[in-house]
Each structure stands twice: as structure tokens, then as C-alpha cells.
Chain A
Amino acid sequence: MKNKIGILILFFISFLLATDYPHNNDSSIKDWDVRCKSCHDPHNALGPYLAIVNGNYNMCYSLCHNPTGDAKNFVIDETKKANPGTGGIHHAWDVPGDNSGYDASTSTATYINYYVTTGVDANNLVCSTCHEQHNHRNGKPFLMADAEEMCRDCHAPRSQNTPPYTSHPVGVPIPATKDYSVPANLPLFAGDTIGCMTCHDVHYAYSDTSEYGTASSGTRTSLTDTLKNWAANQFVGWQVKIYPAGSDTGNWYQVRIISSNTSNTISWTDSLFGAGIIGGNRYVIRKTGSGDGYLLNQIINEICTMCHTFNNNNLGLHLTDTTVLWPGGQYGSNYAYVDTLGNVLPPARAADAIPNSPLPSSFRNSCFNCHWPHGWPDDSPTTGVYPKLCVEEISIGDTLNNEEEDLCYTCHDGIPAYDVKSKFQDSTHHPVVDSEQIYQPLDRTRKVECTNCHNPHIITAQRPLVFPDSTDVLIGWMKDPVDTLAPYDSIPDYVTFCLECHSSDFDSLARDPIDWGPYGDVHGDSVATGTSYGDVIAPYSENQILNGFNYVLACTDCHDPHGSPNIFLIKTVVNGQPVSVTQYGYWYELCTACHVLGGPGWHANQTSTDYCAGGCHDGHNSSLF
């Protein structure tokens, strides 16, 4: 009796399910002869839904999706299940659907079906967790729901479209600013919207070079895209995946290996079924391989900058300099996780990784030196992830946290990069530590962190400054005397930049600025040499007649903005001369780095070799500065 009821239910359900190509028989495209009883047995079923065998994937693979089966072009290879960081090109299956490491939970998902909750495969991901194998009514190929929706359904915590983000945003358009570009070789949704599947795919995701396009025309063994200009046979051995188009029910998600290509046509030998390629078929050509398990549509180190183009593709040194490489967490973060084979693993695979590892050299100047796209676990508090998807504490201007410099310090503590950290520990230093910033009533506009001056994405060694709200590196009109640029080249406009804060708005720090104009004082654009104030030392002795300009003092000619053992952040070396100023007014070493004393003019009778402030030079507040 029980069996009869089962049979009746099966036949009733089969009418509702209505099978689609190629999981049907008598198709006009090709008769695969897949019938109900290919997978179901009303009398001796061992699997759920009268399936002939228990084990959903085993049935799909062993019956058809194997190298000698009917679906030999869609082999779902168990040895290529994704193991993020290690390898794989297919989303994993026969693994728990609830996995907090990947923010995955099928048990709380919306699209729950039998396979999620019941039977031998319960609680595990299997083919039918995502696929409704009978028809395409919810999406091709045989999907339970729209693919993007399904990603976000299971990985719900990563479905974020409002800041602050703890995972890369999805469901948001590419911002129309010069820091972003619409990627030519990543898929977007609704025209300009980023989704999970912009970066990832579910099957045949090799995490390697991919090229997207739309067919102009084609046949059953070729595809032409007249917009392309490829090198001949550059894609031999690569895979082409063709997205659905038109009314041909056989025109969907075909996958073939390319046997040859011309400048705008790719060809393969195993004919497509149905009418073949038509104009409008979107496609992606992918370099094949064993993948890295992250299931990316492009190479991991290149995918970010396809959208994040920063300042019209003028990427800064952190994204171009080949010496930039994460040395391993130093100040609390345990990033990066690298296994013994040199694979970079995600937080979910901590057990397989060596924490605090340096990134392998293949990650030089990549975004992954500072960021992890789904957030890296914060060491304190341990319940969240670091802000801005960073891998260590970072200043973002809206929190108070004495560790906000840790990300920058990880490299900028002398090894491997310029030691800024010890500068901030000198007797005078810029107050980047929060406790030093709140000696006046807490005013967050006074907050200054590394990123308030330096935008790490676009700065260069020569152009290290960016106004906090700007997307441009700061370029100035002043000429560089001895610093990092070639002589006479423009240096950043340090004056404007520093005075942004060091103005009268900050009364205790207010300074009388130099009159930088051409008719102002001699530290500005006025002629500095040959005056009654005495001679100056090269290169400041060069003048307008020789060069068409005067060197104008930048704040950084005398001050080290990070820190110094001297008072007022005065540099220890000015114009190539060692300078020590530990008491107010003892400017002698500082001034004589550029000025010749004892000659004609006011300093003809100068005898003191140290104290200069006695009624004459009282720093920036003096009219004789």
C-alpha cells in the first residue's frame, strides 16, 4: 500500500515538474533519452524521491556527469571540489551546509528543499541543494532559484549593501567616480551592480585569466565577436562557457574546449547541440587549470583592481611597487594564513595554516597585503573583523582606538619598510595616538591618523600626500631642492596641506605662516639670496636669474611630520647638515644649515652660536622668521 501511494505521488509530482532539456527525452535538440526512470525506480528505490540510489552526487556523476557519460562536457570532478586556498574549480559538495567559517548556513536559508533537511544527504551540500534537476523554471541551468539569490541566501551575512562593511558589498552599483571602473572582464548585474558572481562562479571557476564578451554570430562549432582582436590561437586549450540567449532551449551554458582561434573567432571540435551560437550569446573564455579553490573569475591578485582603478588607474606604490609584501602580523593580527605548500588560506581554514605568515612573493603589491575581501577576524575584540576589510587595525577616522596605526606599522616599523613607528615614539611627534589627541575637549575633527595624510592606494614615494576627502595625490608648485624628486621638479604642496590643520582654527598650534607669495618674505617666493640678510647656501643660493624661480621653503624642509628628537619636529638633518635643537630659541644649527652667518648684513657681528630668539627670531610667530 505504501509503495502504491509512493508511485501515485511520483506520477503526480512528475506532471508538476515537467522536465526540460537535456533532462528529458524526445527533445528536438538531441534525444538524450533521459526519462523519469533513468533516475527513479518506483519499486526498488533506495534513495529519496524514489531515486535509484542514495547519495545525490553519486547518482549524478555515475549516471551521466562523468568523462564517459552522456554529460561528458559537464564532468563534475570530485577531485576538483573547492578547498579555498588549496585548489578546486567547483563549489564544494558533500560538505556541511552550515559552515560559519564561510558565513554559510543552509539550515536558515529561504530556499530549503528536501536535500537540505532530509535523507542521507541532509545537512550536506549536494547537487540538488542548488539545482532543481527537472526544469529551468527558476533559472538556467536547473536552478532552485536565481543563482545570485542563492549565494546570498546561504551566505547571508555576506549579503551587505550598507556600510560599515564586514564583507565586500554586493547588490550595489559600481560608484561613478574616478576611483572605480566598470570592469570589462567581470560580470555585473542589472547593468552596473556588483554581485557575488561578479567575482566568483560556482562551476569551472579556475581563478585565472578570463575574457568576457558577447557573440556577434556563430555556428555549432564557432563563436565570432567582431569587437575582439585576439592573437591567433592564443586560446587553444582554454574553455569557453556560453550563457543562454534566444528561444532555443538548447542554447544554455554549453561548455567547450577551444581548439583554435583567429582574431575574432574561437572554434571547438565537439558540436553544440541545438542551433548553436547566435548573436547575443554572452560568453566567457577561461584559462583552465586546477584552480585555487577561491572560485574566482580572474586571478586573485588582479581581480580587485579591475573595479578599484583608483584615480583613473594611477595606482600608488602600494599597488605597484614589487617590494610591497605583507611580512606577517606583528601587532595582534594573525594574518596571513599560509600552509606548508605556500597556499594562502582563508580564516575558515585556520587549522590547516601557519598563522602570522608572510604572504608568498606572488602576492607582491596586491590588495591582499592589507585587505581580505570577506573580512579578517579582529584580535581585539575577537568577535568581529577589522574595519575596511583590512587584515589589521586601521585608522578610518571614526573610531577611537590606540591600535589604529597597526596595519601601517606592520611594514613601516623598519622591516620591511621605512620606519615610521619609531618616529612616532620620538620626543616630539605627530599625535596619532588617541590619548594624545584628546588633551583638549574631544573633537574628532582633530583626530589625525596615518590615512588622514596618506591615502595608501594612490600615494607614491614622491607624492605621499592626499587630502582626506580627495581622490588625488597632492601636487605642488614648489620646487624640490634636495629631497626625493629630481631638482626643479614640483614637490607636493606641503604648505597648503599642513596649514589645513595648522591654521588659526587650532589656536594653540596656530602659526604665522610664511608669506609664500612672490612679494612676500624670503622664505617664500621672494628672492632669497643677495639680500641684506646675508648669503644662503646651495641649493637655496640659486636664484630666479639662473633658474627662473626661487626655492620656497616647504614645511618638510625643516620639519619631520612624523617625529623627531628635536623640538617642534625639527628634522635631525636639514639641507644635508646635522641639526640638534632641544631648547626653544636655539636655532643656530637649524638656520646655519642654509644661511651663511658672519658675512655682510645683520649677522656681521653674530657671535652667539646657539641662541637666536632674543628679540629676533621667535619661530613662526616672529616677524623676522
Chain B
Amino acid sequence: MIKLIIFSIYLIGSISYRGLASDFAICKDKIWVSYPEENFILNYQAGFKIIVKKPYALFSSGDTLFFVSNNILFAYTKGRKAKLLDLPPGFYIRGLKVKDTLYLLERESSKILKIYLSANGIEQKGISFPLYKPRDFILKNRKFYVLERGGPAPKIRIIAFDLSGSLIDTIFEKIGTIGGGIVFDDEGNLLVSDALYGKIYKIFPAKGTIIDSFGNYGSDSLEFKTPTRLIWKNKKLYILNERNSRIDIFAYQIIKIDEKPFEGIESKGKRLFLNIIVPPGVYELSIFSVDGRKIKVISGLNSLRGKIEKKLNLNIKPGVYFVILKEKSGKFFIKKGVKIK
């Protein structure tokens, strides 16, 4: 019997920013993007910056944003930055918080620094792993899942350890490329980004098999250039599309997103009516099938006085599509699922 698993994922939006960001976090529905080369962390929605040298390991818990700068762990909450503690020298690239414990991944010595926050103060403990240039980790069901490179020859390798650092198993390995980030979805599947080839793999962790994948190397929709950090939050997958300077947002179902409302697009029959308020510029509208095939591209849509008004005759089959509106320079990029009747 052939069991067919259909992997459907929808691009439900993207946020574009300027420059090279290496990490991001979502804190109380606000997206923070870190720029270690530029020495600041950006609150994307507010345009507000936290000026800090070489910020790495951005993560959040509740309304607190954590990050590491020059071997110092900082906490930022309600507009105030506070030094939490000095860290042993190292290159801390990822962090997470579970209950009262912070975990920081140190790349050079392949350690996870475990930090207890309690009424009695702060305690630190390093957990060493026999890893090679780890890139990301996640804690689930009292296991560490660590993404590493596996040796001089590049690999995507995910290894599970118990909380003391003892090896449990190699969950997944793919040679000839490197991973950028890992995350679990709500269904217990591992999602991992392929930084070299611009793909996202969905892995069934019990068997270490790739259930499906999506994405290709490139700059267009459903394309990635060095995808790294992944975050799963509120049934949405956020992917740092590093060299395309954007965060792409996906879901297993079409859902409305709050990050960039995209109103003013309606379909009647095979006609698409655009009445969209967007910044002035020249836009391109692309229509994709739900499995990512590009169906139609309409170029040269001018936003006059901040509005695109257009009636388009679409000679395509009825069905569900998603529409991506992209400004010529890529500064503005939005997407919506539509049903063509």
C-alpha cells in the first residue's frame, strides 16, 4: 500500500528589511531582528533600534527579549536594557528559555550553557557535546536536538542528547550541505533549513526521514538565499531568509496574518479586482498555485498616490491561489491567498 503524504505549506506573508540580519526573535507579537555587523537590534514594526555591539543569540520569553553582546547576557523588557550576567568567553549564537532556565549555545567549544534563574541568584552550568560547529538547538521532551555540521565536510546533522549531554541518537543527516536552523512544528515534526541550497525540510524525527521539502535557491517567492533561523509560533513558520533580507512566513493552512495586512484584493469569476493601498512604486503581481508553481505574472502595476486600482482578467482555472505583490526594488512585499471561482 502506498501512503501518500501531502505536504502543503502556504506562504502567507513576508516582511522585508534592509541589510544583513543574522537572527530574529518574536517577542509579544513584535519581531526583533539582530544586525551584528551594524551593532543594533531592530524592532521591525516600530523601527526602533537597541544599539548594542555585535548582538547574537536573540531569543524571547514573555515580554522579555534576551541577547548576548561581547560575552554579556542582556535582558530587554519594557524599553529598558539590563545586564543579566557575564558569560565565559565564547561565541554564543543561539539561546532559548524554558521556565526559569536559559540555555545558550556556544559554537567554538560546542557547549550549551545552562543558566538557572532563581530567587537565590543565578547559577551556570556548561554541558559539553561531542559536536562539530553546532549551529542551532532546541529543547523538547527533555531532549536537546542540536543542529551541527558534522565535520569538515559539510553536513546537516541533527543529534539528540539528554539533558546531561549524553548522546541519544543521530536523528537526521544529509551530506553536502549545511543547516541554518531547526524548529519543531505543532505536529512534532522537525523543520530544518538548508542554508546552502535554499530549502526547508520537514523531517519525521522518529525515523529521521524527510517527509517533504519546499523552497529553492533564489530571491523570488518560495526561494531562499541562506535560510537560517526558524521560529514556529502560533501555527506559523517564520524563516530568516538571510541574504534576501526578509522573513518569510508560512503556515500549513491559509490564515490571516497581522504583520502586513493585505486588503483590497477580490475575485469575481476569473477577474481579479485590485484596490490596494501600498506605498508609491511599481509593483509586480505574481499568482502561484498552492504547491508553489508560478501561474501568472502581471508587471508594471503602478501605485499612484499610494493606491493600485486595477481590474485583471485571469484566464486560469478556478481554485485556490496565492497572490504576491512585490515592489520593484523589493522594499515592499505582501501576499494573500485568494480563491478564484
- Which A residues fall within an 8 A CB radius of B? 25, 33-35, 37-38, 41, 44, 46, 52-53, 55, 58-59, 61-63, 66-68, 70, 72, 75, 77-80, 237, 257, 269
Give Cα A38 to B226, complex, Å: 17
B188 close to A (CB within 8 Å):
no
* B196 close to A63 (CB less than 8 A): yes
* A62 close to B178 (CB less than 8 A): yes
Question: Assuming A58-B196, A61-B243, is B37 touching A77 (CB within 8 A)?
Answer: yes
* B153 close to A79 (CB less than 8 A): no
Give Cα A77 to B245, complex, Å: 11
* B135 close to A68 (CB less than 8 A): yes
B303 close to A (CB within 8 Å):
no
Contacts of B107 in A (CB 8 A): 68
- Which B residues fall within an 8 A CB radius of A? 18-20, 22, 36-37, 39, 53, 56, 70, 91, 93, 107, 133, 135, 152-154, 175-178, 195-197, 217, 225-226, 228, 242-243, 245
Contacts of B197 in A (CB 8 A): 53
Question: Assuming A53-B177, A62-B196, A62-B226, is B152 touching A68 (CB within 8 A)?
Answer: no
Give Cα A55 to B177, complex, Å: 13
What 3 A-B pairs are tightest by C-beta distance, nearest first? A67-B22, A37-B153, A35-B152
Contacts of B228 in A (CB 8 A): 68
Question: Assuming A52-B196, A55-B217, A61-B243, is B178 touching A77 (CB within 8 A)?
Answer: no
Q: Please list 28 pairs of residues, one from A and one from B, whose beta carbons are closer than 8 Å in the complex, sorted by A's number.
A: A33-B152, A34-B152, A35-B152, A38-B153, A41-B153, A41-B176, A52-B176, A53-B196, A53-B197, A55-B217, A58-B196, A58-B217, A58-B225, A61-B226, A61-B243, A62-B196, A62-B226, A63-B196, A66-B22, A66-B242, A67-B20, A67-B22, A68-B22, A68-B56, A68-B135, A68-B228, A75-B37, A77-B19
Query: Least Cβ distance of B66 to chain A in Å?
Result: 17
Residue among A34, A58, A68, A237 with most chain B CB within 10 A: A68
Question: Assuming A78-B243, A237-B39, is B22 touching A52 (CB within 8 A)?
Answer: no
Give Cα A79 to B17, complex, Å: 11
Give Cα A75 to B242, complex, Å: 13
Give Cα A59 to B154, complex, Å: 11
* A44 close to B20 (CB less than 8 A): no
Give Cα A80 to B154, complex, Å: 27
* A44 close to B226 (CB less than 8 A): no
* A75 close to B20 (CB less than 8 A): yes
Contacts of A63 in B (CB 8 A): 154, 178, 196
Contacts of A25 in B (CB 8 A): 152
Contact of A52 among B53, B177, B226, B243 (CB under 8 A): B177
For chain A, what secondary structure do more than half of its interface residues adopt (helix, strand, loop), or is it mixed?
loop
* A269 close to B70 (CB less than 8 A): yes
* B176 close to A68 (CB less than 8 A): no
* A59 close to B196 (CB less than 8 A): yes
Kindly list 18 other residue pairs between chains A and B, CB separation below 8 angstroms, not including A55-B217, A58-B226, A79-B243: A37-B153, A52-B177, A53-B176, A53-B196, A53-B197, A61-B243, A62-B178, A63-B154, A66-B22, A66-B226, A68-B107, A68-B135, A72-B36, A77-B19, A78-B225, A79-B20, A237-B39, A257-B53
Contact of B20 among A46, A52, A80 (CB under 8 A): A80
Contacts of A52 in B (CB 8 A): 154, 176-177, 196
Give Cα A585 to B245, complex, Å: 80
Contacts of B243 in A (CB 8 A): 61, 78-79
Q: A40's closest neighbor in chain B, by CB?
A: B153
Contacts of A35 in B (CB 8 A): 152-153
Give Cα A269 to B176, complex, Å: 34
Query: Least Cβ distance of B32 to chain A in Å?
Result: 16
Query: Least Cβ distance of B154 to chain A in Å?
Result: 6
Contacts of B217 in A (CB 8 A): 55, 58
Contacts of A62 in B (CB 8 A): 178, 195-196, 226
* A37 close to B152 (CB less than 8 A): yes
Query: Least Cβ distance of A80 to chain B in Å?
Result: 7
Contacts of A44 in B (CB 8 A): 175-176
Question: Assuming A37-B153, A52-B177, A59-B196, is B18 touching A79 (CB within 8 A)?
Answer: yes
Contacts of B245 in A (CB 8 A): 79
Query: Least Cβ distance of A31 to chain B in Å?
Result: 10
Q: A54's closest neighbor in chain B, by CB?
A: B217
Q: A271's closest neighbor in chain B, by CB?
A: B89
Contacts of B154 in A (CB 8 A): 38, 52, 63
Contacts of B70 in A (CB 8 A): 269
Contacts of B93 in A (CB 8 A): 68
Give Cα A35 to B149, complex, Å: 14
Contacts of B37 in A (CB 8 A): 67, 75, 77
Query: Least Cβ distance of A19 to chain B in Å?
Result: 12
Contacts of A67 in B (CB 8 A): 20, 22, 36-37, 56
Query: Least Cβ distance of B213 to chain A in Å?
Result: 16
Question: Assuming A34-B152, A35-B153, A58-B225, is B19 touching A79 (CB within 8 A)?
Answer: yes
Give Cα A75 to B22, complex, Å: 11
Contacts of B18 in A (CB 8 A): 79
Q: A45's closest neighbor in chain B, by CB?
A: B176
Q: B135's closest neighbor in chain A, by CB?
A: A68
Contacts of A66 in B (CB 8 A): 22, 226, 242
* A78 close to B22 (CB less than 8 A): no
Residue among B53, B154, B226 with most chain A CB within 10 A: B154
Contacts of B53 in A (CB 8 A): 257
Q: B226's closest neighbor in chain A, by CB?
A: A62
Query: Least Cβ distance of B37 to chain A in Å?
Result: 6
Contacts of A46 in B (CB 8 A): 176
Q: B228's closest neighbor in chain A, by CB?
A: A68
Contacts of B135 in A (CB 8 A): 68
Give Cα A66 to B225, complex, Å: 12
Query: Least Cβ distance of A61 to chain B in Å?
Result: 6
Query: Least Cβ distance of B252 to chain A in Å?
Result: 27
Contacts of B56 in A (CB 8 A): 67-68
Contacts of A257 in B (CB 8 A): 53
Contacts of A78 in B (CB 8 A): 20, 225, 243
Contacts of B39 in A (CB 8 A): 237
Give Cα A237 to B22, complex, Å: 19
Query: Least Cβ distance of B148 to chain A in Å?
Result: 13
Give Cα A195 to B152, complex, Å: 40
Give Cα A538 to B226, complex, Å: 82
Q: B94's closest neighbor in chain A, by CB?
A: A68
Give Cα A75 to B35, complex, Å: 12
Query: Least Cβ distance of B279 to chain A in Å?
Result: 14
Give Cα A63 to B93, complex, Å: 15
Give Cα A468 to B53, complex, Å: 56
Contacts of A70 in B (CB 8 A): 133
Q: A46's closest neighbor in chain B, by CB?
A: B176
Contacts of A41 in B (CB 8 A): 153, 175-176
Give Cα A63 to B242, complex, Å: 13
